[in-house]
């Protein structure tokens, strides 16, 4: 069965790029445009993985990760955050919040697939 | 809007980013030492370059790469931000806009790049890349960080990645597993010692642990290679928190410390740990639900007690046998 992935990003083009790359590799993709929508969508189901931006309006990625990790149902779900190389402090904060790993922005389609396979082990 | 066309969506967003870059450059022209502005320009150019490459704007990505590299040097303090450099990049922004709109003459970009070269001072060092050593033999010993299972780290995926690197022998280190009553299901109490052989560099191994390397206990030793006698052990640099003392006692104590198990049995063990984590999550959820029910019952009980004490209801609670 193909893994289901929730992508959370306020940029429509980044969401689209992720969707094209992930669906092309056989993953099922659900999208959210900010942290609040991400929490709402994750609460209703258990995704195999969540990929999120950090800087977003309404609810940012860090807050979303903290909210998700408070929910027993979201324990153990890999959460990958998207960051730029210069965001070392954000990287540390996101890990402390419960993130699993990161994806450096900008990324190529094969990079996101490689990270997903690395984290999911498939 | 651009519908489902990533290139059109990218164009809109890239033009917005260019607006921000130009604003930052104009401000930077007045405050040349402002690190935030320098960083803003770099990030904007970085985004345009990376996203451009992602959506097939290769000419834009190539051209922007030069400008981004220049600002990376500024950001790292290798080159000072000068008025000339800012002016050249500002002028180059128009060319980038043209490339975003697919209207610019690609060759015309050379004029800006020549100007950029003239404006740059200093040189950038080159970091040598370590070549894989053929037939290298590594011993890796590691324990994953606390809470790793709750944070989505998959120990089996890490082992699978190590296996993909070369010939691999895995030994589970089970001494740290506590009694069941004390077992914290979101921690991985098993450690591993892995012996790897093949054309493998230290970077290859560290890349496997990319997301946990800074938080975990790990030693990576190159113990022999084809160019080195097998009995000439050459421990190299260590990464992580396992101390020298641990390494010194490891060789003498290994027999009593470790148990060798087949990989499939190890996988089964990890599956059981995963099931424990899920079971704990379900129990926590049930506890939350039960708590809500008890709170509801408590509220009803308080309401009933209050009602029964009122004068009117007191009458109705008199035993019918008395009447």
What percentage of chain B carries pLDDT values higher than 70? 76
How confident is the model at residue A8, as a pLDDT? 96
Q: Determine contact, residues A41/A33, Cβ cutoff 8 Å.
A: no
pLDDT in tens, B241-251: 344 434 434 43
| Predicted-complex ipTM score | 0.82
Task: Assess contact for A13 and B13: CB atoms under 8 A.
Answer: yes
Domain count, chain A: 1
**Averaged pLDDT, A96-111:** 87
How does residue B296 score in pLDDT terms, banded at 50, 70 and 90? confident
Res. B103: pLDDT tops 70? yes
Over residues A53-101, the pLDDT tens digits come to 988 888 999 999 999 999 988 989 999 999 876 667 888 889 899 999 9
Which residues constitute the domain of residue A47? 4-120
3-state SS track over chain A: CCCEEEEECCCHHHHHHHHHHHHHCCCEEEEECCHHHHHHHHHCCCCCEEEEECCCCCCCHHHHHHHHHHCHHHCCCCEEEEECCCCHHHHHHHHHHCCCEEEECCCCHHHHHHHHHHHHCC
The residue among B13, B36, B151 with the most chain A CBs within 10 A of its CB, best to mutate, is: B151
The pLDDT assigned to B125 comes to 44
Mean pLDDT (chain B) is 76
Is B3 an 8 Å CB contact of chain A? no
Is the pLDDT at B130 greater than 80? The verdict is no
Check pLDDT > 50 for residue B254: no
Hey, what's the torsion of the CAs at A96, A101, A107, A111, to 10 degrees? 180
Q: What is the CATH number of the domain that holds A12?
A: 3.40.50.2300
- Do the Cβ atoms of B150 and A109 come within 8 Å? no
Nearest to B54 among A17, A85, A118 (CB): A17
Does the predicted TM-score (pTM) go above 0.80? no
């Amino acid at each position: 069965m193909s893994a289901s992935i929730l992508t959370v990003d306020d940029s429509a083009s980044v969401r689209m790029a992720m969707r094209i790359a992930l669906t092309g590799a056989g993953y099922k993709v659900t999208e959210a445009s900010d942290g609040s929508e991400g929490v709402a969508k994750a609460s209703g189901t258990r995704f195999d993985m969540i990929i999120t931006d950090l800087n977003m309006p309404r609810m940012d990625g860090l807050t979303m990760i903290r909210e998700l990790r408070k929910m027993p149902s979201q324990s153990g779900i890999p959460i990958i955050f998207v960051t730029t190389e210069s965001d070392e402090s954000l990287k540390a904060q996101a890990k402390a919040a419960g993130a699993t790993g990161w994806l450096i922005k900008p990324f190529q389609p094969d990079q996101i697939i490689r990270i997903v396979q690395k984290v999911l082990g498939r | 809007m651009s519908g489902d066309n990533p290139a059109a969506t990218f164009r809109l967003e890239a033009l917005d980013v260019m607006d921000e870059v130009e604003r930052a450059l104009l401000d930077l022209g007045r405050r040349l030492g402002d690190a935030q502005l320098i960083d803003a320009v770099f990030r904007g150019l970085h985004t345009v370059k990376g996203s451009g490459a992602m959506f097939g704007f290769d000419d834009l990505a190539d051209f922007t790469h030069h400008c981004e590299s220049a600002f990376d040097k500024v950001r790292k303090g290798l080159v000072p931000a000068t008025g000339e450099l800012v002016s050249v990049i500002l002028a180059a922004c128009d060319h980038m806009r043209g490339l975003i709109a697919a209207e610019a003459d690609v060759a015309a970009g050379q004029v800006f790049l020549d100007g950029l070269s003239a404006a740059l001072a200093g040189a950038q060092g080159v970091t040598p890349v370590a070549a894989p050593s053929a037939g290298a033999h590594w011993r890796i010993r590691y324990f994953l960080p606390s809470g790793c299972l709750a944070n989505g780290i998959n120990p089996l995926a890490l082992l699978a990645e190590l296996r993909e690197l070369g010939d691999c022998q895995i030994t589970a280190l089970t001494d740290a597993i506590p009694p069941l009553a004390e077992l914290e299901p979101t921690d991985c109490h098993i450690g591993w010692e892995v012996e790897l052989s093949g054309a493998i560099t230290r970077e290859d191994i560290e890349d496997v642990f990319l997301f946990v390397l800074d938080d975990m206990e790990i030693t990576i030793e190159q113990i022999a290679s084809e160019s080195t006698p097998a009995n000439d052990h050459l421990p190299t640099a260590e990464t992580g928190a396992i101390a020298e003392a641990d390494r010194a006692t490891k060789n003498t104590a290994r027999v009593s410390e470790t148990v060798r198990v087949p990989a499939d049995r190890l996988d089964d063990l990890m599956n059981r740990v995963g099931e424990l984590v899920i079971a704990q999550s379900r129990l926590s959820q049930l506890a939350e639900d039960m708590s809500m029910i008890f709170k509801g019952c408590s509220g009803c009980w308080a309401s009933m007690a209050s009602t029964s004490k009122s004068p009117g209801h007191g009458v109705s609670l008199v035993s019918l046998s008395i009447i």
